[in-house]
């Protein structure tokens, strides 16, 4: 061990876990570059990673074909009562789930090293930061945690002898018998996978998967599912939101926090390059925001993460040039195509496809191959500090003051380009009824429309109805200092399937209108579903877009919205009596507004 651990609770937990999981060795991570290099070298030697000749210090991994995304169907919120987890979460009683998982954990690390990763979510010197310790038998997870969190000896120092931490236990669930050769990506079959949360104890147990949010436990498991529970208890917010700073030509700063479901463009928006002259943007975070009311009564946000775990396919110099520049070095790629000259490639990269490569399943691949070369949920892991537009304040311990909340999803129809909420309660209603087509970020059907409240459907660690109430309570506390709330949909299509809106950098035109609304200088039209700009209220200078498209993007289709009502009611009915009365009222009001005229 490279350091002394004075925290007896931690020492004891590591000891007990080693006794249960029976690893060949226990290794305490120090978080250094040498440690990272060493682990990568071992994984290259073992055949589970490929070093990329074309990108300095970059590595490619290929997962097992069964282990390519989060597994919502195997994700559990294990509270004493089923109602405390609520209708949107899978639930098994803690004793039963622990019994099942303890059996799986018994001897599960045989033949492997057990790594102990002390990590901080949030800059270590931030009063909002929280410490976790992940135990894992995956060196791939260790290297990813190096990038995604502040990890290692410095966290042990911050923890001290009696500091609090969230224990996060992870195993790929693939013990090795003596002499048994390892595979490139060990994992367990689906029916043995469990991504479990015990909110009463602030405890995370994950078994059987090595991929993304299933395995990098600081991210969705801690910074969202467990953190939502802590946030409600302690009066703050843990949200699935990017954070960005927009700067007007006059130099005024606006901070925007936006919630979209996984693989709906949060990373792209977080690194937006505004197309409107004079406007600039800086990135603070691309996935998670922790927010607390500051001494001045405003809401302050930090990014608890230190890296980006972004979707590779579709990322290009057109869609997200800043991400492309972020991943030139020191990045990890998972499930991308390996080109013959030692680079990565994916569909929608904007670069010509290689004439030959190795696909994410390790097979020869050519542009004519029947299947995509990269998995649709292929990912890059890269340090946030490498982003060319990372804000100089991205690690500011106190966070940045949020002016604007944005909700949204991916929907070909119905939801217009942008809507502003009438007031906080209506904004909470917009968040609570957000809907989106499902993506490859979860194992399951892609393209199905579902309600994804606040983009938190897979990430809320308690009853979602109580989470709605928490949003209402936060609004009451924030009062006139509350951020304005908007709903956007960049993904409208024509009946023939063409995009109505160009998106990406052009989204700055919509953001500009939001800022002008905050400043009280832009008009808005009152409609039954909220406040909308007219085409003249949006800065469309220099944008080549058909007037018909704009009209369609800003049209409120009353009949289509009336047809939405039964689904909204069904969605809310799932929560029974627990649904806040103030949201029930919002449904009635919307129905009345739609009914009129
Ligand atoms: O795999 S992750 O959960 O980290 C990515 C996502 O779904 O947002
Ligand atoms: Mn996410």
Please tell me the predicted confidence (pLDDT) of residue 180. 97
| Model confidence at 192: pLDDT above 50 | yes
Of all residues in the chain, the percent with pLDDT exceeding 70 is: 99
CATH of domain 308-386: 2.170.8.10
Q: How far apart are CA 107 and CA 20, in angstroms?
A: 6
Looking at residue 12, its pLDDT comes to 98
Tokens representing residue 78 in the block: 């294990």
Ligand 1: atom nearest CA of 263 is 8
Q: Token digits for 175?
A: 């013990």
> From ligand 1's centre to the CA of 213, what distance in Å?
5
Report CA(377)–ligand 1 centroid distance (Å). Answer: 9
Ligand that comes closest to the CA of residue 260: 2
Q: How confident is the model at residue 2 (pLDDT cuts 50, 70, 90)?
A: confident
Task: Give dist(CA 309, CA 331) in Å, integer.
Answer: 10
Q: Which CATH number describes the domain made up of 8-30+75-234?
A: 3.40.449.10
On whether the 239-303+394-595 domain is CATH 3.90.228.20, my answer is: yes
Please choose from 69, 121, 206, 264 the residue to mutate so as to test ligand 1's pocket, defined by most ligand atoms within 8 A of CB. Answer: 69
pLDDT over 60 at 267, yes or no: yes
HEC string of 49-79 equals EEECCCCCCCEEECCCCCCCCECHHHEEECC
Q: Which atom of ligand 1 is nearest to the CA of 240?
A: 8
**Cα–Cα distance for residue pair 43/430, rounded to 1 Å:** 46
Integer angstrom CA distances of residue 418 from 255, 270, 485, 552: 18, 18, 11, 12
User: Average of pLDDT values for 585-596?
Assistant: 94
Nearest CA to ligand 1 atom 4: 213
- Catalytic residue numbers read 264
Residues 311-329 have pLDDT tens digits of: 999 999 999 999 999 999 9
Nearest protein CA to atom 6 of ligand 1, as residue: 262
Mutate to test the pocket of ligand 1, among 441, 454, 459 (most ligand atoms within 8 A of CB): 441
* Best probe residue, ligand 1, of 305, 309, 444 (max atoms within 8 Å of C-beta): 309
pLDDT of residue 596: 57
| Euclidean distance between CA atoms 265 and 262, whole angstroms | 8
Cα(310) to centroid(ligand 1), Å: 8
pLDDT of 30-61, one tens digit each? 999 999 999 999 999 999 999 999 999 999 99
For the CA of 262, the nearest atom of ligand 1? 8
CA of 522 to the centre of ligand 2 (A): 32
Asked if residues 467 and 428 have their Cβ atoms less than 8 Å apart, the reply is no
Buried b (16+ CB within 10 A) or exposed e, 499-529: ebbebbbbbbbbbbbbbbbbeeebebeebbb
Percent of the chain with pLDDT over 90: 99
Rounded-to-integer distance, Cα 476 and Cα 474, Å: 5
Q: Give the number of whichever ligand sits closest to the CA of residue 285.
A: 2
Nearest CA to ligand 1 atom 3: 213
Give the atom of ligand 1 at the shortest distance from the alpha carbon of 287: 8
309 CA → ligand 1 middle, Å: 7
Q: How confident is the model at residue 597 (pLDDT cuts 50, 70, 90)?
A: very low
Domain chopping of the chain, boundaries:
8-30+75-234, 239-303+394-595, 308-386
Residues with CB under 6 A from ligand 1: 70, 212-213, 219-220, 262, 309, 441
Instruction: Specify whether the CB–CB gap between 525 and 554 falls below 8 A.
Output: no
Return mean pLDDT, the chain: 97
Q: What is the atom index within ligand 1 of the atom nearest the CA of 266? A: 8
Ligand 2 centroid distance, CA of 443 (Å): 14
């Amino acid at each position: 061990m490279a350091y002394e651990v004075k925290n007896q609770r931690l020492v004891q937990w590591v000891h007990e876990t080693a006794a249960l999981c029976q690893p060949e060795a226990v290794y305490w991570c120090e978080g250094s570059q040498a440690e990272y290099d060493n682990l990568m070298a071992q994984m290259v030697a073992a055949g589970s990673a490929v070093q990329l000749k074309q990108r300095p210090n970059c590595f490619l991994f290929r997962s097992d074909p069964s282990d390519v995304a989060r597994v919502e169907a195997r994700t559990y919120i294990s509270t004493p009562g089923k109602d405390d987890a609520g209708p949107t979460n899978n639930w098994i009683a803690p004793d039963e789930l622990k019994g099942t998982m303890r059996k799986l954990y018994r001897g599960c690390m045989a033949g492997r090293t057990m790594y102990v990763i002390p990590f901080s979510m949030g800059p270590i010197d931030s009063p909002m930061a929280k410490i976790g310790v992940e135990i894992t038998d995956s060196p791939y997870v260790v290297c990813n945690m190096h990038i995604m969190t502040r990890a290692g000896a410095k966290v042990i120092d911050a923890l001290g002898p009696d500091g609090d931490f969230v224990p996060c236990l992870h195993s790929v669930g693939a013990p090795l018998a003596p002499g048994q050769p390892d595979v490139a990506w060990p994992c367990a079959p689906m029916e043995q996978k469990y991504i479990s949360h015990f909110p009463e104890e602030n405890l995370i147990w994950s078994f059987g998967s090595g991929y993304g949010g299933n395995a990098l436990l600081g991210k969705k498991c801690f910074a969202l599912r467990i953190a939502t529970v802590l946030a409600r208890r302690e009066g703050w917010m843990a949200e699935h939101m990017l954070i960005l700073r927009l700067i007007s030509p006059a130099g005024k700063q606006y901070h925007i926090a936006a919630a979209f479901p996984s693989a709906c463009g949060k990373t792209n928006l977080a690194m937006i390059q505004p197309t409107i002259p004079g406007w600039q943007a800086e990135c603070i975070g691309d996935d998670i925001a922790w927010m607390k009311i500051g001494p001045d009564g405003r809401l302050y946000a930090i990014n608890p993460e230190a890296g980006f775990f972004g979707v590779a396919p579709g990322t290009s110099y057109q869609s997200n040039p800043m991400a492309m520049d972020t991943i030139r070095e020191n990045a990890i790629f998972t499930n991308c195509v390996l080109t013959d000259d030692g680079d990565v490639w994916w569909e929608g990269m904007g670069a010509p496809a290689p004439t030959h490569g190795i696909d994410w399943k390790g097979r020869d691949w050519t542009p004519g191959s029947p299947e995509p070369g990269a998995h649709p949920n292929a990912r890059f892991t890269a340090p946030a500090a490498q982003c060319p537009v990372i804000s100089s304040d991205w690690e500011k311990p106190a966070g940045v003051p949020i002016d604007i909340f944005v909700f949204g999803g991916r929907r070909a129809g119905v939801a217009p380009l942008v809507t502003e909420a009438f007031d906080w309660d209506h904004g909470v209603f917009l968040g609570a009824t957000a809907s989106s087509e499902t993506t490859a970020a979860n194992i399951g059907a892609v393209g199905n429309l579902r309600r994804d409240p606040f983009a938190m459907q897979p990430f809320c660690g308690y009853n979602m109805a109580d989470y709605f109430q928490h949003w209402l309570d936060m609004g009451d506390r924030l009062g006139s200092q509350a951020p304005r709330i908007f709903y956007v949909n960049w993904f409208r299509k024509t009946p023939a399937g063409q995009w109505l809106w160009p998106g990406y950098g052009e989204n700055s035109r919509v953001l500009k209108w939001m800022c002008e609304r905050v400043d009280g200088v832009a008009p808005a039209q009152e409609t039954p579903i909220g406040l909308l700009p007219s085409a003249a209220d949006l800065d469309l200078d220099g944008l080549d877009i058909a007037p018909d498209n704009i009209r369609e993007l800003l049209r409120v289709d009353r009949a289509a919205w009336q047809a939405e009502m039964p689904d909204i009611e069904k969605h809310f009915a799932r929560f029974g009596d627990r649904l806040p009365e103030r949201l029930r009222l919002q449904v009635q009001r919307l129905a009345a507004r739609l009914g009129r005229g």
